[in-house]
Structure 1
């Protein structure tokens, strides 16, 4: 994957675009649209964030994004403000505000609705609103009715850690609208990008986002359960998954077992889809089972740690020192939201284990409760009964594992991502425990 951003599209009719929200989606959309040659005004209620972004200081860990923001500002195509009134002359306004899950799993639209109310008397009547926030079916239609301007469902499909790349090299661009001319206007924002454009109705576009993420969750839960089955039969999940992935109908992506799935999208989107199904009277048991399997995976990892450390899956971890490598929900990001690594850590701490953690994406000053953060992997290994790999940071492969073995109390690794080479770990002096692997 190249870090080189795309060049502005030559000869394209450029628009004045407004972006409401400067989070992962909003900031990436704003910076990438500026890169494509549009004039972009990004609005956020967080004045401290706006001040930082005006100086090209990007508050999230996302490759390419700092450079794109800096280039957009230098070219006078990208500006940041807290004033919604600055969007009055925009041709298209993207709504990229957070839509988190409530405690009952339903979607919290408070920030989204607040943005709509604030925009009611701001937008040019000829403007088009593109809803990029992940919202329940029917929200785009409600947006159009409330604002009195054409609205288009334009869901994002960005991966954290690859957001800028994904925006500039999309698998597909989805436009859900009842007015073809409105879909045309939003579609022109992406002119120059090589991707199929799916034109549909708003409800189908909204559901497509939830359906995509829920399917990925299903696939991940499936491979985690399959890995457990492999252990019972002495099979190797890596070989099984490789054979599966060569089938074009299945594909190799999302077939790596782990400590569970998490992040800012999959948990809330599966929950939202389940609530939508329940309201519609549709039995979506397979998705419910995938969610239940994900919670089971956290406990399964804890059992594996117990077995590796005590010799029994039911052994006591009270007073046991454990070192954790990786705390973010996946490598390449600093995002801890719904991290399976933290979910496993919580269960280990509940059982009385003493936890030391290191993550290259997290500053030592971060307060993670019962996890003592350290700034180098050697401190994770020091006097540990086991080192537990919870996030698939590739730099963990390059650690001096023979040296780490000397620092541990018991040279044991529980690799919940199957990231490391078992033979290299064995040569370094470690007892190695992976997921879905034959016992060594």
Structure 2
């Protein structure tokens, strides 16, 4: 991990919230030499973390937490007021879930500020790491009513499954505040990291996160639109996106087609930006179209399964490889795989799924989906098998065995993960995304 050679001064930092963003922020700041106290209202979780037990599926995070505890640079507490009393910077990393109208619900952010405002030291910093709409910094400044405490927007750009790497090797660090002194102090927290730092106003910093995520969502929907076109015209999306990725203006990230996009960020952030635009009488038709295209692509996956099963999935055992929204995480929030599964269940399919990150009774797994212990259990007796999450281990399965276990050799690879030649040799009837099926779809 590229870091500058000079040792920055160690600071006392408090992190409010130990979810995905909060725990990663706290552990990584401790690894940079700062003294960090993370607080959470869940006492059981605090006790677990204090023992170094991390239940978030994130490579490297557990190791960083245990190292921080061992060195004494990372502590956990359920008392936020105690955590902030000696802190030079307090990071707000609490959830901002989507409200029914699509806006970001700031109840937990505002509650955290009310709880700590009278306990913040003079000349400390209140840093919003949570994704919040434009105007939140101004709102929190009013709520604080503390001229001696600067509010700074410092959005996160962490990808699940790569969060530790993204934090310690960032593309950029964004610091939004009208105070040059506050901006400098927040920037110093990241002084060991080799990354460009963008100093801007708080409103722009708050909008940057939404702008970036909505662009990525639009890019993904566009690629899935192209994949549909390829299927209709007999072209291959793989060669097209490879060629597109060589163009430095486009690059190859977020150019892989799939069953749609989801997760904890893109659906929530597109909805929040659309709501914010609507609230001021503006419109974002491109973002709106990307959201609708995403829903349509999820429906297309279901239509493919129905077609490959002869026009109906009623009573058909459908095996699903993957339920999380992408590989490398155990997150089921707004997963396109779950959306597809729910629609198939409504159509009468009998569903069984395997995901390497899910074990036993998992919260978030919809009723009616049985969890298998292995991919081969999913295939046994199946009338169709779907590859829905891009776990690398699915590529290396014994596909002749998978096909042999199935009642019918129907494979729908929504991620184009498995080599078509392997499926062909295994005797599968299959189709991918953005490429022609190996045989006419229809009843097998």
TM superposition score category, shorter chain reference? over 0.9
2:25 paired with 1:41: no
What's the counterpart of residue 442 of structure 2? none
Q: 2:125: which partner in 1? A: 128
Post-superposition offset of 1:78: 0.2
1:334 to 2:330 alignment:
yes
**Offset at residue 257 of structure 1 (A):** 0.6
Give the aligned partner of residue 343 of structure 2: 347
**Cα offset, 1:44, TM superposition:** 0.7
Give the CA deviation at 1:307: 1.7
Contact 2:97–2:104 (CA<8 Å) still a contact in 1?
Answer: yes
Is it true that 1:412 corresponds to 2:437 in the alignment? no
Asked if 1:324 is matched to 2:298, the reply is no
Mapped to 2, the partners of 1:438 and 1:399 lie a distance apart of 22
**Partner residue, 1:191:** 191
List runs of 5+ in structure 2 lacking aligned partners. Answer: 439-444
How far 1:144 sits from its partner (Å)? Answer: 2.2
Matches of 2:190 and 2:397, distance apart in 1: 42
Deviation at 1:10, TM superposition (A): 5.5
Give the CA deviation at 1:306: 1.3
User: Aligned ranges for residues 64-103 of structure 1 at < 5 Å?
Assistant: 64-86=60-82, 87-103=84-100
Deviations 1:266-297 (A, max 9, x none): 00000000011111221211111110011111
Segments of 4+ in structure 1 off by > 6 A? 5-9
* Local SS of the residue matching 2:437: coil
How high is the TM-score relative to the length of structure 2?
Answer: 0.96
Q: Hey, what does 1:253 align to over in structure 2?
A: 253
Is this contact kept in 2: 1:382–1:408, CA < 8 A? yes
Query: Match of 2:420?
Result: 422
Matched residue SS, 2:370: strand
Equivalent-residue separation in structure 1 for 2:370 and 2:20 (angstroms): 28
Q: CA deviation at 1:8?
A: 10
Q: CA separation in 2, counterparts of 1:107 and 1:21? A: 17
Deviations 1:344-364 (A, max 9, x none): 000101000100000000012
- Give the structure-1-normalised TM-score: 0.96
Structure 1: segments with no counterpart, 5+ residues: none
Distance 1:130 1:397 in 2: 42
**Aligned partners of 1:323 and 1:356 also within 8 Å:** yes
Determine whether 1:23 maps to 2:19: yes
Query: What's the CA shift string for 1:153-199, capped at 9, x where partnerless?
Result: 00000000000000000000000001010011110000110110000
User: In 2, Cα distance between the equivalents of 1:374 and 1:11?
Assistant: 49
- Other structure's SS at 2:105 match: coil
Q: Tell me the equivalent position of 2:307.
A: 307
In structure 2, the residue matched to 1:212 is 212
Give, in angstroms, the shift of residue 7 of structure 1. 8.0
